[in-house]
Amino acid sequence: MDTISTIVFATLFLPPLVAVAVVQMLRQRPRQTGHVKTPPEPTAIPVVGHLHILLKKPLHRTLADIAARHGDVFCLRFGASRALVVSSAAAAKLCLGELDTAFADRPRLPSGKILSYDWSTMGHANYGPFWRQVRRTTTTEILSAERLHYFADVHVQQARAMARRLCCVAALRSGGRALVDIKARVSEMLFNVLLDMICTRSSRGDEQDETGEVSEEARNFMAMAEETIELTLTAWDFLPAQVRWLDVDGVGRRLQRLQANRTRFLQRMVEEHRETVNKGAQVARNTMVRALLELQKEDPKACTDKLIHSMCISALEAGTLGTEYTIEWAMTLLLNCPRVMKKARDEIDECDGTPKRLLEAADVPRLPYLRCIILETLRLYPVVPLLVPRESSADCTVCGFHIPKGTMLLVNTFVVHRDPRAWDDPETFLPERFEDGRNNQAGKMTMSFGMGRRRCPAENLGMQLASLALGTMIQCFDWERVGTELVDMSEGSGLTMSKKVPLKAICQPRASMVDLLSVL
């Protein structure tokens, strides 16, 4: 705004908007009878409460600092909304275990309504019959053990395709060494895997293999996925409707534009698959879209196009972003700790003679140290450090504090995973802490994928994809940092644990792998 516009806005609109906000806050304030103990909270700003805290990035570290001053359980007020923040394993397990049903709903945020097709995605829907139906369908059609085995060859093929592209890039450079954007390469691989599982159509970039360029479709989708994260749980979500309508910062317009782009992408993907089936062409795979279209024929009202879109976008975004961040952080940690990289490669090379062949999906269970690396990466850099927010559907008591119905729950797994009361040397990257099932048997790592009814159902798929991608990169290439300094470990500002600076590293194909990669 220019100066005159700002003065006009402040004079004409601000007083009534503040009044509206106060009225809404008073209406939503819980009615209490008798003396109840409420969680502590930091000093709040009149009317807006702690809304300014959402502007301090990364949010999980901001909340960690507040927990250090106010305790493992404290409360925040975002305008007229309340949020409970828990930062200890005991409190988290209470909320997500014993009180799982009470905290099984999702907060009805305006951004969520737009991006989830009116809360119809599995991740946004409230706990109930509809959520159970969507979760059951998703688990059966894409995430079951049988489906994981059914698509294992697709996972392997795309991991090898990524390695082949890297090998081509290195061959074009002097000395056979190439600077690689790890994030872009891994994102494309995961995007292709999920596309093949959902609709049997990899990204249209195969013709670019020889030059090693990342496909435009994969880049565009990842840009949409990252903007989705950027526009989720912002201060805009907690403004009164009258203020949101003004859309001074353009967040509402961005959300609508983003959702339109996502819908066009999904419609094109589903229609291509539908046309293929209608023409009588043989579909090689029993994909997620194929199964959903068959359900739609049986009961069009129960399986609408909107439901198909919501299920597909959930699978694509969660499957690509979550696993990509884990692999990128794992590679960063390995580059900064060559000892662990060598130990992982030795394990892979000793696995049934893999120096003479490339890694297979069947090898993953026989690589316990590789699994330890991924678990330790998830401990230090959980994909969703605050988990996906929940909301209480009834009054309850947490650690002696009264929590009213409609309170948003934020679980700071970043703090839980680095708690010195639970972990020895918690800030150190030490995969050995999970060897022989240590620590993981105690259930400490369950926080990475959530707990209870809303625990992430894609855990096995994510672990397999991360293992195959990371294992293939370790097996096929020698990796070096760019320069002599350690790789920057700074975190990004979103609700997911991305790197602030995307990882780039130098790769050179191992001599024993060149011939194997060339025949793919």
123 within 8 A of 314, measured Cβ to Cβ: yes
Which range, of 25-39, 66-80, 159-173, averages the lowest pLDDT?
A: 25-39
Binding site for heme, residues? 456
pLDDT at 10: 42
409 within 8 A of 372, measured Cβ to Cβ: no
How far apart, in whole angstroms, are the C-alpha atoms of residue 97 and residue 89? 11
| pLDDT band per the 50, 70, 90 thresholds, residue 2 | very low
**63 has pLDDT over 90:** yes
For 221-235, b where at least 16 C-beta lie within 10 A, e where not — what string? Answer: bbebbbbbbbbbbbb
Q: What average pLDDT does the segment 364-385 reach?
A: 96
Residue 238: exposed, middle, or buried by beta-carbon count in 10 A (0-12, 13-18, 19+)? buried
pLDDT at 28: 45
Tell me what percent of the residues of the chain surpass a pLDDT of 90. 67
Q: Mean pLDDT for the chain?
A: 88
**What sections of 71-116 are H helices per DSSP?**
89-93, 110-115
Which range, of 33-37, 264-268, 470-474, averages the lowest pLDDT?
A: 33-37
Q: What average pLDDT does the segment 341-356 reach?
A: 86
**pLDDT single digits (tens) 175-216:** 889 999 999 999 999 999 999 998 877 665 544 444 557 788
440 within 8 A of 434, measured Cβ to Cβ: yes
**pLDDT single digits (tens) 433-469:** 999 877 664 455 668 899 999 999 999 999 999 999 9
How far apart, in whole angstroms, are the C-alpha atoms of residue 422 and residue 379? 12
Distances (CA, A) of 360 to 366, 373, 411: 11, 18, 36
Amino acid at position 27, single letter:
R
**38 has pLDDT over 80:** yes
pLDDT at 208: 45
Tell the residue number behind the tokens 């048997």, with chain if given: 441
Amino acid at position 48, single letter:
V
Amino acid at position 321, single letter:
L
102 within 8 A of 392, measured Cβ to Cβ: yes
| pLDDT band per the 50, 70, 90 thresholds, residue 352 | low
Predicted TM-score of the model (pTM): 0.90
pLDDT at 281: 60
343 within 8 A of 502, measured Cβ to Cβ: no
Q: What average pLDDT does the segment 429-436 reach?
A: 94
As beta bridge partners, residue 397 has 402
Binding site, residues? 456
**6 has pLDDT over 50:** no
**pLDDT single digits (tens) 142-186:** 889 999 999 999 999 999 999 999 998 888 887 889 999 999 999
pLDDT at 286: 83
| pLDDT band per the 50, 70, 90 thresholds, residue 333 | very high
Nearest CA to 117 out of 324, 321, 258 is that of 258
**105 has pLDDT over 80:** yes
pLDDT at 317: 92
